[in-house]
Chain A
């Protein structure tokens, strides 16, 4: 919370027109010292972008301090931003510099600026105008050399119109305005983002990156992503935790992504479909073609064997109409062994793959 953000924590991924415009903006502002106002929904990458702006600036070797103005109560914001002198209030046992002083010479990212109460906005405005702060309970005026980047979830101009945000502060912040698009408005970037995060989280676990099934890509493309890139990142982290079969399949994806895929924004227009993404491949019947094993992707032998085992058990249960003694005979194992294997495979009663009995080995490698 207090520590300056470490350098280069992230990159911004995207080739969509919307993101190219963002990159172009970043390139144009280059080494500018002006205040930037980043507007974007939660999870669109405001802080990541602020970091990039800082790293592209002449201040890159000085601190980048990020502070969320939503975290603190009104009185605490003041103390956090401007610091306090010993004895300023109960518990203020020693002098403490505020975020402005900590960011001196560098960049201060004021996130959630839309959550700053009106009374505090006055004080913030004065600081931005005079470039000096006064610690709480102090009399000294301290000059600060800080480049300000503000982040807002809401449209500040609208908040000004509604009387919830001071107009003068808005103009002070809105020098270089940048709007980050929500993910649903740049769906063509979803495949690249998936690859990026899935690779990151498998690598972080020290595992090779498995191929991703088309169905998973479709599910990701159709989901609305109300939490934007952050939510997509979390979904990818979850996949890396869940998937152990050597191929990211639909079962690795959180069901909410599947179930809400055709929510308020159902149609994925053909225009938005990305060139690298796969065309829709919804099929009404299971495909008998196994994915090629020749592709240079790792497979887990243990998992494959388990799949084969569960498929064969499923076949035996199917043709024996659920009679486990008969199924055990078919498999030439003992009835008790069959029970153990069913449990070990985590099959419960679900293994009977009705469609698959005539091509069990194929399905097992699917």
Chain B
């Protein structure tokens, strides 16, 4: 079951680092088995940072919740 709490728990693991770089990763919505997040800060405009965080966070979400669908960046 993909819940806001479980998604937040995963995001909370990377958030301190992103915040230390002056950015943030915010959970916007959980829709079914998928979630949408928003990345802000210096790395928000960097395509390779997107890929890194996006793939890494999505993988971590699937580790915690095998039924997790897709992570969307908004």
Closest residue of chain A to B48 (Cβ to Cβ) is A242
* Whole-angstrom distance between the Cβ of A235 and the nearest chain B Cβ: 12
A347, CB-defined interface residue at 8 Å:
yes
The residues in B between 33 and 74 inclusive whose CB is less than 8 angstroms from any CB of A are 38-50, 52-53, 55-57, 59-60, 72-74
A268, CB-defined interface residue at 8 Å:
no
CB pair B38 A350 closer than 8 Å = yes
Interface residues on A, range: 35 or more
Counted as pairs of residues, one from A and one from B, with CB atoms less than 8 Å apart, the total is 136
Q: Knowing A259-B13, A286-B41, A349-B74 touch, does A251 contact B20 (C-beta < 8 A)?
A: no
CB pair A219 B74 closer than 8 Å = no
Q: Which residue of A218, A245, A355 contacts B17 across the interface (Cβ within 8 Å)?
A: A218
A346 — which chain B residues lie within 8 A by C-beta?
45-47, 50
Q: Which residue of B13, B22, B53 contacts A286 across the interface (Cβ within 8 Å)?
A: B22
CB pair B19 A251 closer than 8 Å = no
Alpha-carbon distance between A345 and B22 when the two chains are bound, in angstroms: 20
Q: Which residue of A242, A258, A281 contacts B56 across the interface (Cβ within 8 Å)?
A: A258
The residues in A between 188 and 245 inclusive whose CB is less than 8 angstroms from any CB of B are 213-216, 218-219, 242-245
Chain B 1-44 near chain A by CB (<8 Å), digits 1 or 0 = 00000000010011011111111101000000000001111111
Alpha-carbon distance between A180 and B21 when the two chains are bound, in angstroms: 34
Please classify the interface of chain A as helix (H, G, I), strand (E, B), loop, or mixed, using the class held by over half of its residues: loop
CB pair A258 B14 closer than 8 Å = yes
B23 — which chain A residues lie within 8 A by C-beta?
250, 286
A261, CB-defined interface residue at 8 Å:
yes
Q: Which residues of B contact A (CB under 8 A)?
A: 10, 13-14, 16-24, 26, 38-50, 52-53, 55-57, 59-60, 72-74
Sample (5) of A-B pairs whose CB atoms are under 8 Å apart: A249-B43, A249-B46, A286-B41, A349-B73, A354-B38
The 10 tightest CB contacts between A and B, nearest first, are: A255-B56, A251-B49, A346-B47, A251-B43, A215-B20, A310-B45, A215-B21, A350-B73, A250-B21, A286-B22
* Besides A245-B42, A350-B50, 11 new A-B residue pairs in contact (Cβ under 8 A), listed by A number: A215-B18, A218-B16, A251-B21, A251-B53, A252-B52, A283-B19, A286-B19, A310-B44, A314-B44, A356-B41, A366-B42
Q: Which residues of A contact B (CB under 8 A)?
A: 213-216, 218-219, 242-245, 247, 249-256, 258-259, 261-262, 281-287, 306-307, 310-311, 314, 345-356, 363, 366
